[in-house]
Structure 1
Amino acid sequence: MAAKDDSIPSEKPGVVNLPQWEQGWQKATDAGKDPQFHVKNVHPILSKHLEQLTGGRSGLKFLFPLCGKAMDMKWLADQGHTIVGVDGVEDAARQFFQENAIQPTVTEVPALNGKLYQGMEGRISIYICDYFNFSSEVKGQFDAIWDRGAFVAINEVDREKYIRLMKALLKPDGRCLMEVMQYEPSLFPGPPHNVPTDELKQLLGDYNMALLDTVDHTERLGKLFNLPWINTAYFLIKASN
Structure 2
Amino acid sequence: MCSWKITLVPNSRHAFTRKQKEEQGRYTSRDHTSRSKQALIRQLHSLLLVIVTKGILTIVSRLEWSAATPRNREALSSPAQRVIIHHTALANYTNQKQCMDHLLSIQRLHMKDRDFDDIGYNFLVGADGTVYEGRGWGVVGAHTKGYNHDSLGIAFMGNFNNDAPSKEAISSVKQLLHSGVFQGFLQSQFDLFGHKDLGNTECPGKKLYTALPQLRTTR
Q: TM-score, normalised by structure 1?
A: 0.27
Q: Name the structure, 1 or 2, with higher relative contact order (CA <8 Å, separation 6+).
A: 2
More strand by share: 1
Flag the structure with larger Rg: 2
